[in-house]
């Protein structure tokens, strides 16, 4: 799918502010794909569609989660997680993208998962560090992403978990499993 066509489809689904974010994620994902040896076209496509379902009504997303037999535990956690797996489903159903790598990168860009593929890591980190993001810890992750995608991923997950803990919010189990997987794989650092 051509970039302009994909961006037009996404622009119809999201706000102008989110569209600017999407452009930042797209450019960042392309850079990361080139830096770490993944397919820049797949990274571009996954980045463009990563927030496709972000503004869908919660009731519609809840219905899709139930009908598609997605993990029920999604429904007891923050609804901010829902747009990723729902988005992967809708991008396939409504847009016709069938590339499993692209759909998986969309699906896991909020929660992560143990043993993530390179493309999944790229989209997760690109979403976290795109130039429009400004919050404590993002610059450190940007620096880590210059040389070590796994370390950038671990630090971004660590920051997210700490943010949720400070707000007394539950942490989605798959996010904790992702963190543990990469720490146990040898990603220990301070």
What is the pTM assigned to this prediction? 0.96
> How many Cα atoms sit within 13 Å of 185 on the Cβ side?
14
- Residue 124: exposed, middle, or buried by beta-carbon count in 10 A (0-12, 13-18, 19+)? buried
pLDDT at position 189 over 70: no
Confidence tier at 190 by pLDDT (50, 70, 90): very low
- pLDDT tens for 49-88 read 999 999 999 999 999 999 999 999 999 999 999 999 999 9
pLDDT at position 186 over 90: no
8 Å CB contact between 142 and 126: no
Q: How much is the CA Rg of the chain, to the nearest whole Å?
A: 16
- pLDDT tens for 97-106 read 999 999 999 9
8 Å CB contact between 102 and 49: yes
Nearest partner of 60 among 93, 31, 19, judged by Cα: 93
Mean pLDDT of the chain: 96
pLDDT score recorded for residue 58? 97
Decide: helix, strand or coil at residue 3: helix
pLDDT score recorded for residue 167? 95
pLDDT score recorded for residue 188? 52
Topology (CATH level 3) of domain 3-135: Hypothetical protein af1432 (1.10.3210)
Distance of alpha carbon 145 from alpha carbon 81, whole angstroms: 23
């Amino acid at each position: 799918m051509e970039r302009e066509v994909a961006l037009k489809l996404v622009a119809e689904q999201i706000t102008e502010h989110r569209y600017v974010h999407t452009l930042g994620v797209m450019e960042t994902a392309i850079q990361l794909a080139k830096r770490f040896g993944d397919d820049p076209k797949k990274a571009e496509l996954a980045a463009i569609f990563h927030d496709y379902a972000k503004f869908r009504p919660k009731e519609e997303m809840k219905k899709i989660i139930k009908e598609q037999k997605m993990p029920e535990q999604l429904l007891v956690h923050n609804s901010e997680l829902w747009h990723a797996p729902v988005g992967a489903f809708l991008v396939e159903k409504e847009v016709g993208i069938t590339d499993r790598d692209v759909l998986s990168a969309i699906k896991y860009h909020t929660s992560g998962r143990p043993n993530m593929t390179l493309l999944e890591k790229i989209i997760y980190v690109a979403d976290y560090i795109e130039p429009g993001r400004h919050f404590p810890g993002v610059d450190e992750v940007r620096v880590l992403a210059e040389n070590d995608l796994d370390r950038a991923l671990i630090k971004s997950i660590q920051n997210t978990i700490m943010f949720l803990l400070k707000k007394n919010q539950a942490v989605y189990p798959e996010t904790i499993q992702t963190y543990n997987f990469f720490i146990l794989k040898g990603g220990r650092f301070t």
